[in-house]
């Protein structure tokens, strides 16, 4: 339920997952986050601010931002 009504414009849970992901990913491990079509830029900024590399957003079949991924290299 929290993914549908998360605080911070729906980004609170994504921030938590991205922060905690750093502790669980191996070097060069990838984190992929599915999100709302208007959240691509915000999710990219979150991942880059946390030190993820090669951050990119991929679109769905309708051409809308749908999944953002980043590589943990530290």
Quote the pLDDT of residue 3. Answer: 54
**Cα distance between residue 73 and residue 30, in whole Å:** 9
Let me know the angle formed at the C-alpha of 45 by 13 and 3, rounded to the nearest 5 degrees. 20
pLDDT for res 9: 79
How many Å apart are CA 17 and CA 29, to the nearest integer?
A: 14
For 3-59, how does the pLDDT look when each residue is reduced to its tens digit (9 = 90+)? 556 688 789 999 999 999 999 999 999 999 999 999 999 999 999 999 999 999 999
Q: What is the residue extent of each domain of the chain? A: 2-72
pLDDT level of residue 2 (50, 70, 90 thresholds): low
Most distant CA pair in the chain: distance in Å? 34
CATH architecture of 2-72: 3-Layer(aba) Sandwich (3.40)
What local confidence, expressed as pLDDT, does residue 4 receive? 58
């Amino acid at each position: 339920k929290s993914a549908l009504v998360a605080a911070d414009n729906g980004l609170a849970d994504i921030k938590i997952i991205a922060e905690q992901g750093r502790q669980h990913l191996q070097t060069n491990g990838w984190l992929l986050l599915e999100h709302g079509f208007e959240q691509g830029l915000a999710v990219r900024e979150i991942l880059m601010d946390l030190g993820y590399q090669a951050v990119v957003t991929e679109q769905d079949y309708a051409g809308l931002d749908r999944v953002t991924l980043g590589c943990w290299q530290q």
